Structure 1
Amino acid sequence: MAMLVLSVVDEADVNGRDIVSTGISMLGLEGDDVVCGRCGREMMSQVPIRTMPVGLLYRCEVCGALNEVPADVP
């Protein structure tokens, strides 16, 4: 599929949203490759992120940034 760069979210903007730790890397069977919006590390490979619940935040285990799927992703 595609390479998707996530948007970084400030800690002050979490507002009770769930945070998912991707660990070293999440691997899927089909989907997008997803990278951290701050450090560029590949957080997920072949993951169907476009079908995951809206509003989830993803913590990068390298730089600690909180990331979300950009609003303009279909």
Structure 2
Amino acid sequence: MARLVLAVVEEADVNGREIVGTGVAMLGLEGDDVICGRCGREMMSQMPIRTMPSGLLYRCEVCGALNEVPPEEQP
């Protein structure tokens, strides 16, 4: 398990990609702790985000930022 800081995506760069709201927090069974690239909040705990479909955007419920897995961390 590692801490993975997501990359912020500007609204103008969404280009029709699906946006997932993480709610207060998402909890998985094993994986990474996922951090918002803007405010530093832990958005997901123990989530296998590196194996989830690429291209998804994750909205931070605290600051509203759209985040994505950085390209260098994608499978």
TM-score norm. by structure 1 comes to 0.98
Mapped pair 1:55 → 2:47: no
Runs of at least 5 residues in structure 2 that lack an aligned partner in the other structure:
none
Matches of 1:27 and 1:37 in 2, distance apart? 18
Alignment of 1:22-61 (within 5 A): 22-61=22-61
- What is aligned with 1:71? 71
Matches of 2:51 and 2:71 in 1, distance apart? 14
What RMSD, in angstroms, separates the aligned Cα atoms of the two structures?
0.6
SS in 2 for 1:45: strand
Runs of at least 5 residues in structure 1 that lack an aligned partner in the other structure:
none
| Structure 1 segments of 4+ aligned residues over 3 angstroms from their partners | none
- Count of residue correspondences: 74
